[in-house]
Structure 1
Amino acid sequence: MTYRSGRHFLQLPGPTQVPGRVFRAMTRAVIDHRGPEFGRMVLGLFEGLKWVFGDPAHVFIFPSSASGCWETALVNTLSPGDHVLLWNNGFFASKWGDFARALGFDVEILEGDWRGPADAETIAARLAQDRERQIQAVLVVHNETSTGVTSDIASVRDALDEAGHPALLMVDAVSSLAATPYRQAEWGVDVTVCGSQKGLMLPPGLGFCAVSEKALDRHREVAPAPRAYFDWTAMLGDNEGGYFPYTPPTTLLYGLEASLAMLREEGADATCARHARLAEATRRAVAGWGLRNYCQDAGAVSNAGTTVMAGEGEDAEAFRLAVLERFDMSLGTGLGPLKGKVFRIGHLGDLNELMLMGALAGVEMGLKTSGITHTAGGLAAAAEFLAEARRP
């Protein structure tokens, strides 16, 4: 491997750059995971996570990716063969449905426009038709990482309430948590799935499942789907004292303690305002280059990442790889049917204005050298916006 000076720009919508403070926290010596010091630390983590998610009844921590928590959400609240309703407007929404189907659940897909958010009216109409209450859960992705589209979860809860439907509301907040306002209790979300490697500024490796009292009651009542490692019952017993029914990833938990402290110090409103500001600068850069944002709903554009369309016949994947090779910056690839048609600019996590401008400069230099059709002015548009934007 050849040495390259400077730092690599990891400009994905996850994993994101890990702050030095988090890495330093992770270098502490491993302690007894059955001892009192560890228990006190984990009980503090639970309280911090409740604050981030918006006051759920409990937050389970699993040593897994967020995909593992897709599974734990389903198998702990549903019975084999149960009917679930999924809004599909992106690669990760579709994949969650694949997980549910593989686990033996009856998955009904409401196909949405990948360039727009979940349609609460369509969900409400389908729930109203379910007079026998066969649908046991509604699955929605809050921020679809593959497309840069954010859905209104409060409106989906309104759809359930309008229909008087008892189904659980399950939400993937993997790329929205700690980047976009998220209020689990206020919005009536029963299960929220998230991972460590995006807004929480950690390396990959921790999955989170934030649950309501209703979800916990359902867990206790249903005929269980097969589960062992991901069983909530075993977790709840040990979690009471700050422990786990297996050997936990202690160093990642040290990092989580540091990241939660950083988010507290910045404040939730300031964190979300920062992400909104950086996202708007990115969108202005994209418009300044004469390129198109994949999201076509101005009210649903993402604060976590912007998905950019290449021109007709142009190869977005070749552009992305050229930027990596020449300027040492990783942009997100197009996923599923979007492969080669889009590239993604991440703007979440441990990021400020100058870091974003460096990333946008890399994109602009890549556009100039790759043959992608564009106009000049994107970088200047972002700089002008950020110079005038005020921090709260």
Structure 2
Amino acid sequence: MHSGHSHLFIPGPTNVPEAVRQAMNVPQQDMRAADFGDLTLPLFDGLKRVFKTTEGEVMIFPGSGTSAWEAAITNTLNPGDKVLMARYGQFSTLWVKMAEMLGLEPIVVDVPWGAGVPWKEIGRILGRDKDDEIKAVFVTHNETATGVVSDIEAVRRVMDECFHEALLFVDGVSSIGSLDFRMDQWGVDLAVTGSQKGLMMPAGLGILGVSQKALAASKANTMRRAYYDFADMRQFNKDGYFPYTPPTPLLHGLRAALGLIDAEGLDNVIARHARLAEGIRRGVAAWGLDIVAEHRSLQSNTVTAVRVPDTVDAREVLRIAYEDLNCSFGSGLARLAGKVFRIGHLGSFNEGMALTALSLAELALVKAGAKVPLGAGVAAASGWLAHGAQTPDKLVLAAE
């Protein structure tokens, strides 16, 4: 038995604010009542602000972000369609697997885990596709397994430069609501996220932003689907209802979470994530350890994947943190197992939590046999958080 608080520093599910937890403590209600739209209709508008879209529509599916992945594919593509996918981490790998399971024909570009989306290669491949045989491009915006964020705007630019008509699918599960994401400006056709990351809720909602181009595609495709059908969702959603029983407590939680984002201001939320992430990274650097992201421009502001020394098993660091220190960090996934542990720093996260994460990680590392200087990570992060920039513009300048 542990005394005190449990510490959750995984990249999802994230910590749920008390206001959101209390908002979900509601009795069940009639989801066909005349006033149900009073709860639900503002949620769609609030999510559109988070996705930064005025032209697209937002749909809420009961399920995790993976359910929204499946809905995006089954409503807009056809069996046998060629799709262009980059694979540079566990979640981009899983998206390739889903595409294959649903009968698509992925053209896969593999790059090292730690690199970002190879947008130049995507441009070259699309440029050679003179007959538009490739129907979609899939990009993981923030690869949660490696702590790498990719340039979606660059992908859209190369697509436009070769006048390609492919749909642009973006996995924003660990970015939307935490990182700068601009659905309309970047020409994203299907944007996927889940409730358990930047939206500061339990898992249970798969949320999908859909462009008008994607909606048009959904009316002509032939892939089978039932539960995830766009047409049914749109028919019911326009009045605030769902084609099946929705998880009403989660919808109440979503209303509270969107209220917190609005109160802080989305741009301020994004800046907070950037400021705290820089503190975490400076702490890791003070330990003398590397992170998985290959270049500063690729470093995620929602999760940092830390490489442990060769003499240390990251699984032992995780075990000690959990069993001895009442603390959870993210594990290294697939080929990174035993080599990496991950610090999640997204959603409801502040300076005290950042410093706590670093201090407990230091203890776990030392107990696991790593020769890291105790206190160095916290000191480096504190120096940044005390004297570093407080606004997005200054943050860039101070980090250079």
1:236 alignment partner in structure 2: 234
Q: How does 1:85-96 map to 2 (within 5 A)?
A: 85-96=84-95
1:172 alignment partner in structure 2: 171
The one-letter amino acid paired with 1:255 is: G
1:107 alignment partner in structure 2: 106
Post-superposition shift, 1:390? 4.5
2:82 alignment partner in structure 1: 83
2:136 alignment partner in structure 1: 137
Query: Does the CA contact (< 8 Å) of 1:154 and 1:187 recur in 2?
Result: yes
The one-letter amino acid paired with 2:13 is: P
Deviation string, structure 1 residues 222-260 (Cα, Å, up to 9, x no partner): 2x2010001111111001101000000000000000000
Separation in 2, partners of 1:141, 1:383: 32
2:296 alignment partner in structure 1: 298
SS of the counterpart of 2:231? helix
Separation in 2, partners of 1:327, 1:336: 25
1:199 alignment partner in structure 2: 198
Query: Does the CA contact (< 8 Å) of 1:293 and 1:309 recur in 2?
Result: yes
SS of the counterpart of 1:293? coil
Post-superposition shift, 1:132? 1.5
Query: Does the CA contact (< 8 Å) of 2:276 and 2:345 recur in 1?
Result: yes
1:54 alignment partner in structure 2: 52
**TM-score after normalising by structure 1:** 0.97
Post-superposition shift, 1:373? 3.2
Q: How does 1:246-285 map to 2 (within 5 A)?
A: 246-285=244-283
Post-superposition shift, 1:113? 2.1
2:350 alignment partner in structure 1: 352
Is residue 2:305 matched to residue 1:307? yes
SS of the counterpart of 1:76? helix
Q: How does 1:325-364 map to 2 (within 5 A)?
A: 325-364=323-362
| Most deviating of 150-159 and 358-367 | 358-367
Separation in 2, partners of 1:334, 1:317: 8
Separation in 1, partners of 2:150, 2:112: 12
Separation in 2, partners of 1:207, 1:6: 33
Separation in 2, partners of 1:390, 1:138: 36
Deviation string, structure 1 residues 71-126 (Cα, Å, up to 9, x no partner): 11101001111111101111000100100100111111011222111121110000
Query: Does the CA contact (< 8 Å) of 1:11 and 1:345 recur in 2?
Result: yes
Q: 1:248 to 1:277 in 2, by over 3 A?
A: same
User: Which runs of 5 or more structure 1 residues have no equivalent in the other structure?
Assistant: none
SS of the counterpart of 1:154? helix
Post-superposition shift, 1:370? 1.8
**TM-score after normalising by structure 2:** 0.96
Is residue 2:114 matched to residue 1:118? no
Query: Does the CA contact (< 8 Å) of 1:86 and 1:107 recur in 2?
Result: yes
2:314 alignment partner in structure 1: 316
SS of the counterpart of 2:107? strand
Separation in 2, partners of 1:379, 1:352: 14
Separation in 2, partners of 1:375, 1:309: 16
The one-letter amino acid paired with 2:185 is: E
Separation in 1, partners of 2:211, 2:76: 11
The one-letter amino acid paired with 1:226 is: R
2:26 alignment partner in structure 1: 28
Post-superposition shift, 1:369? 1.9
The one-letter amino acid paired with 1:36 is: A
Percent identity between the two aligned chains: 45
Post-superposition shift, 1:314? 2.0
Q: Which runs of 4+ in 1 moved over 2 A?
A: 373-376, 389-392
Separation in 1, partners of 2:267, 2:390: 11
Aligned length: 389
The one-letter amino acid paired with 1:335 is: L
Query: Does the CA contact (< 8 Å) of 2:64 and 2:205 recur in 1?
Result: yes
Query: Does the CA contact (< 8 Å) of 1:319 and 1:372 recur in 2?
Result: no
Separation in 1, partners of 2:79, 2:223: 5
Separation in 1, partners of 2:124, 2:146: 25
The one-letter amino acid paired with 1:289 is: W
The one-letter amino acid paired with 1:273 is: A
Post-superposition shift, 1:375? 3.4
Deviation string, structure 1 residues 314-343 (Cα, Å, up to 9, x no partner): 200111111111111100001111111100
Deviation string, structure 1 residues 148-205 (Cα, Å, up to 9, x no partner): 0000100000011011100000000000111110000010000001001011000011
User: Which runs of 5 or more structure 2 residues have no equivalent in the other structure?
Assistant: 392-400
Note the aligned Cα RMSD (angstroms): 1.0
Separation in 2, partners of 1:297, 1:119: 14
Deviation string, structure 1 residues 270-293 (Cα, Å, up to 9, x no partner): 101100011000000000001101
Separation in 2, partners of 1:95, 1:258: 31
Post-superposition shift, 1:37? 2.4
Separation in 1, partners of 2:166, 2:141: 18
1:218 alignment partner in structure 2: 217
| Most deviating of 349-358 and 283-292 | 349-358
Separation in 1, partners of 2:95, 2:319: 28
Post-superposition shift, 1:7? 1.2
Separation in 1, partners of 2:163, 2:335: 36
SS of the counterpart of 2:36? helix
2:67 alignment partner in structure 1: 68
SS of the counterpart of 1:295? coil
Separation in 1, partners of 2:67, 2:245: 17
Separation in 1, partners of 2:116, 2:210: 23
Query: Does the CA contact (< 8 Å) of 2:145 and 2:333 recur in 1?
Result: yes
| Most deviating of 308-317 and 196-205 | 308-317
| Most deviating of 325-334 and 37-46 | 37-46
SS of the counterpart of 2:91? helix
The one-letter amino acid paired with 1:103 is: L
1:127 alignment partner in structure 2: 126
